[in-house]
Structure 1
């Protein structure tokens, strides 16, 4: 895939979002942008190190002194970091979190796409479906897809572009809606999943570090995240259909400069295509049956029966990326054999190789992004900013609703600097959770507020590890779609989700609604004078 430097957008793109798009698209190619960011990061790290920036770690004790371990800003020009940069360069790249997921899934998805399975299946699925219902369906599947963790990014989001294209709508609007559902609605779901287990495990440790034994409730945010699902769905639907898609205009394959054929969505299926879909459906059922056998059959290899109840399904969730790879490659093979697109195994191998060729630019971009993210961690600047932000909130004296709203905004801001949800919560929770408990606010409520802020800004920060991949998905449909275009497209979603999330949290506190089974907004103060506790627990 050839990717050109982003060009200036249409003159019809006016207003604030148009300014963001024009300004962003004037930036260098994303690869070089990350290189410039690395140079700026090096300069800041040197200045911070010379200035002696440091904070005590809220959760780690130095065994020699018995005091909290000090986190100090580290110069990226120090001997250790220079050595780490050159010695660990292959590891830094290959251990970049999304790289393995993307390569594995796209090996299979590339085959399914090149034989025409995706296009035919989506065309068959949307021929008689009202176009207006595509958006809520895509968004709902995206939010529920978070149960599959990282697989949702590399499977659902590109499929959404194909779905919208097959329905005669702008494919980038589909990608944006799905990205907003998967990433902007990262914590919104009808069911607790592995994210709940991960975050509440960190919450439990934060409580125990100050107050002793505490059993985290894995379903402690169930009602809250379900409410997020039902509130976020119409918000993303509205933003997509009333703001983003009208702004994008009508998609034109020739003007976009891509190789995608502009097929009508209502073209009748051929007999070969119908046969191919039937064979592909049987292959999908076979893979699903195989995974059910692995989870429920003898030995249950995908269920960790020795783990705690909330962690038993972790191997199953982690296996879904491999499951999607197998599903796509077998379904693609079955469809291709039925339609004649694949005649022998050599054709299959060529299509897998072609899928990797399409990812060539992403690999270059991932190399630069991986080093920026890694070096930001080496500098300790993200940790220092996170701990100082939590410290500021602990001394603010705000009432409960205002304090939780402030925590949401701080989490949203920190998400622009530290992408990992678990990493940020591991740093913030040892300060925020005990501090809020002393104010009479439950650990479950602290976790819920953090989740709102962490989700809203996922979709506008290039530091989110899948952000470069979403840009590639968009550029497959429109070659001049740059960083500014993606930021301008996703900003309305981010602002709307943040506003709705803050309002929802304030309302939850004001009405003291249950967050989940046995979990409420407020809790008994572990040890604090009765008078101050009563004052602090007032919403």
Structure 2
């Protein structure tokens, strides 16, 4: 078994450097405050210098507007509330979390994840762990807490190495975070930020939560197969036979908590209620004259697609209530809003962050700095004849590197989208396509960045089974997942594009 020794490798020294550099970064809220201040200063200097550019959309000359001016000061004060309340991702995410949060608070998410892993045949346990971890991002951070330790206990009970179970669970939850078979809060959050950035170029531009859906559905089986192969053919052979003498002496006696018959009935009833709801939606979508169809029977531009978020909200409320009533977690109608309120409390940090991020993005747009940088960057790439898939792959790699320093996917995208979405739109790329490219990099590097707040927790789980385990152990185990997932995801991304397949309903690479 390859564990840490006294001498650090070059890679471990690099990770130490990343951790030190990342720890020096301010809290994301303050980071956006500092960036907003920087936009105020830079726009003023550039604006006073009379810098302007030609808008490639209409040929008009556009000047950079200084925020340190009478007009700029008035904008800062008068727009503050609208910047926050009108920020597209805010409403989308909060509405989604009302439903998903309710399902999590009543215990449906935990029961589902646990039952999938425990009921899987022995030969399919690894696939179940990784697949459940990927789909578990519906429960957001809860999946990080539930899946890895549960996987370790299951692996140990089967005579397999528990650290391999932790690795498989962490890979599914972390490296596969952005993939799923249904629309999640991540889709709503990122699409909202992308829409804000895209509308600086085209006011009618809109990135919906379903715009990456097809690609994300196809990603789930790919990641499950590759992740299981890595776990069984690379990670477990490298770890070797597990020696329980290095455990903390108590963890090996832990018993996997069986799901009670009542919880199974709750999950069954939730499944029935969800199926009935989906049938009703299908009745309104599948027929050519369905109520949720668009003009002339269209699906892409239809009430079904444009209202996908409230439809998903109702789905989660229905299955959560069915589960909660069956398990007696919900005893009265007042319990439902109480659980929803609890889920909103968990969103307090996100709401606070969005206030600062919304100001930064709004200032960036109003000053025309975002358009200036995008046009300049697009002109440079065009002059250098650097376009097509290579430039998008380069963007993926850049996003992966930045994710080593900024763990929050929404915070990083709020930083990158205002620059790169307009830049690529001027090169005729669909903003949803660039959003997808970002998601691949952001997801796969989650498990190796020292700034992941769940890394210490995962390390604590590992130490319970082997006190010799350290950060070097964790990162050396998780690095193969990052490298292989990212490489194959990029290959899949390229092949998908060459075949001309849509990444979502009616969404292709070009505008």
Q: With the length of structure 2 as denominator, give the TM-score of the two structures.
A: 0.62
Q: Quote the Cα distance in structure 1 between the aligned partners of 2:479 and 2:375.
A: 27
In structure 1, the gaps of 5 or more residues are: 1-11, 62-67, 143-152, 187-194, 207-220, 247-262, 434-442, 463-469, 481-487, 518-539
Q: Which aligned pairs between 1:75-90 and structure 2 lie closer than 5 A? A: 75-90=66-81
Q: Quote the Cα distance in structure 1 between the aligned partners of 2:91 and 2:311.
A: 14
Indicate how the Cα distance of structure 1 residues 229 and 323 shifts in structure 2: closer, same or farther if over 3 A, else same.
closer
The answer to whether the 8 Å contact 2:378/2:423 transfers is no
The answer to whether the 8 Å contact 2:131/2:172 transfers is no
Q: Quote the Cα distance in structure 2 between the aligned partners of 1:51 and 1:360.
A: 41
Q: Quote the Cα distance in structure 1 between the aligned partners of 2:415 and 2:481.
A: 18
Q: CA deviation at 1:108?
A: 1.9
2:323 corresponds, among 328, 335, 357, to: 335
Q: CA deviation at 1:33?
A: 2.2
Q: Which aligned pairs between 1:86-235 and structure 2 lie closer than 5 A? A: 86-129=77-120, 130-134=124-128, 137=131, 155=138, 157-158=140-141, 160-161=143-144, 162-164=146-148, 166-168=150-152, 173-181=171-179
Q: Quote the Cα distance in structure 2 between the aligned partners of 1:322 and 1:227.
A: 24
Give yes or no for the alignment of 1:38 onto 2:23: no
Q: CA deviation at 1:458?
A: 5.1
Q: Quote the Cα distance in structure 2 between the aligned partners of 1:449 and 1:275.
A: 41
Q: CA deviation at 1:78?
A: 3.2
Give yes or no for the alignment of 1:73 onto 2:57: no
Indicate how the Cα distance of structure 1 residues 39 and 496 shifts in structure 2: closer, same or farther if over 3 A, else same.
farther
The answer to whether the 8 Å contact 1:105/1:321 transfers is yes
Give yes or no for the alignment of 1:381 onto 2:369: yes
Give yes or no for the alignment of 1:325 onto 2:323: no
Which residue number corresponds to residue 55 of structure 1? 53
Q: CA deviation at 1:24?
A: 1.6
RMSD of aligned Cα (Å): 5.2
In structure 2, the gaps of 5 or more residues are: 1-7, 153-164, 185-190, 203-211, 239-252, 403-411, 461-474, 503-511
Matched length: 406
Which residue number corresponds to residue 269 of structure 2? 279
Give yes or no for the alignment of 1:290 onto 2:280: yes
Q: Which aligned pairs between 1:428-467 and structure 2 lie closer than 5 A? A: 428-430=424-426, 432=427, 454-457=438-441
CA deviation profile, 1:451-480 (whole Å, cap 9, x unmatched): 885555555999xxxxxxx989x69979x9
Q: Which aligned pairs between 1:337-376 and structure 2 lie closer than 5 A? A: 337-376=325-364
The answer to whether the 8 Å contact 2:180/2:220 transfers is no
Q: Quote the Cα distance in structure 2 between the aligned partners of 1:110 and 1:448.
A: 26
The answer to whether the 8 Å contact 2:40/2:67 transfers is yes
Indicate how the Cα distance of structure 1 residues 497 and 285 shifts in structure 2: closer, same or farther if over 3 A, else same.
closer
